[in-house]
Amino acid sequence: MSDISQQLIEQVNSARSDGRKLNIIGRGSKSFYGRTATGDHFNVAEHNGIVNYHPAELVLTARAGTSIAELEAALDKEGQMLSFEPSNFGSEASIGGTLACNLSGPSRPWGSSVRDMVLGLRLINGRGEHLRFGGQVMKNVAGYDVARVQAGAMGCLGAITEISLKVLPKPAAVATAVLPLDSAHEAIAVMNDFSRDPAPMMGACWLEGQLYIRYSGAGNAVDSAINRLIQQYGEANVLSGDVTFWRELREQSLAFFAGDRPLWRFSVASTLNHFMPEADWLIDWGGAQRWLRGDFKQEELQWQVESGNGQVSLFRHGNRDGEVFFEHSEAIKTLHHRLKASFDPDFVFNPGRLYRWL
């Protein structure tokens, strides 16, 4: 447990006065994400440790370099969890990097995202000021929601040093039903059908002719949901308490993710019709998040999802020097520039990591 905030502030001030750029680095689990990083290393991994944890209030505050593993170990002792199912990506992810990249697990549509669970944070901006936004209680709603603006900013607005999060109790029961379903088009329809049911769904994914539906919550509610599913669609392989598939999905350690072929991530309306059926797909979030492997042109993929107000990004591999995230309108770009100039007027932090023009 270590507080090196003053050292970090001094490093920012030094870089600003020398005209140098800083590349924010945590534990390196998501170094593959975004565009190619530039600038001197600005390491926040040593700024770590749990600052406050109040199980009765479901609130935890930790420094940004604290590992997800440390947080989950502390929460597990109290029967609680990070509901957004953060990934380590085969390494040891930090809570700061998880928020900066705004990455959440398989339960996202029914549970929460990391952004949803942020109550407040501290941030070192490009002027070397150590600022506090939000608070450590769920009732704090005053002012602009700057804390959540950091979700997905990838360090472009400053270096996160501390985060306060809402946590949740672990569910009493978890069960997964696995249905054989060859058609991705039919799987999307079935997942959307299940999503309208009041049952406690916490995962819906289709891969290689298998549809995985996960329920979690009170034991009676989970059993009832599984029984209704079997009555409606016939026999299913039920995995009670086995979360292996979902862990491998969130960590991207399934065979689908292996290799160095470009990995594309689609964020679309869950009901959008399946397209390019001959390609290599994994469909998650009940149809709202879709993964595609292969060499494609981003503009051609974007054209495929425009009817569903969708977005596509190059998540892993491929050319990291070009644009990897979806293209914004000129009006949105202007807003991004103004926000960047407000937090980091000298463009010290992570230049070009999110977009070439930022």
| Minimum mean pLDDT range among 118-132, 133-147, 194-208, 329-343 | 133-147
Q: Is the pLDDT of residue 41 over 90?
A: yes
Q: Is the pLDDT of residue 139 over 70?
A: no
Question: Domain locations in the chain?
Answer: 5-169+334-343, 171-316
> Does domain 171-316 bear CATH number 3.30.70?
yes
What is the bridge-based pairing of β-strands 22-25 and 40-43?
parallel
What's the rounded Cα separation, in Å, for the pair 103 and 119?
17
Cβ 176 vs Cβ 238: under 8 Å: yes
What's the rounded Cα separation, in Å, for the pair 94 and 29?
8
Q: Is the pLDDT of residue 140 over 60?
A: no
pTM of the model: 0.94
Percentage, residues of the chain above pLDDT 90 = 84
Question: For the domain bounded by 5-169+334-343, which CATH number is listed?
Answer: 3.30.465.10
Q: Can you spell out the DSSP letters for 10-43?
A: HHHHHHHHHT--EEEESSSTTTTSSSPP-SEEEE
Q: Is 130 left (phi over 0), alpha (psi -120 to 50) or beta?
A: beta
Per-residue pLDDT, averaged over 117-134, amounts to 94
What's the rounded Cα separation, in Å, for the pair 35 and 312?
15
**pLDDT by residue (tens digit) across 145-166?**
788 899 999 999 999 999 999 9
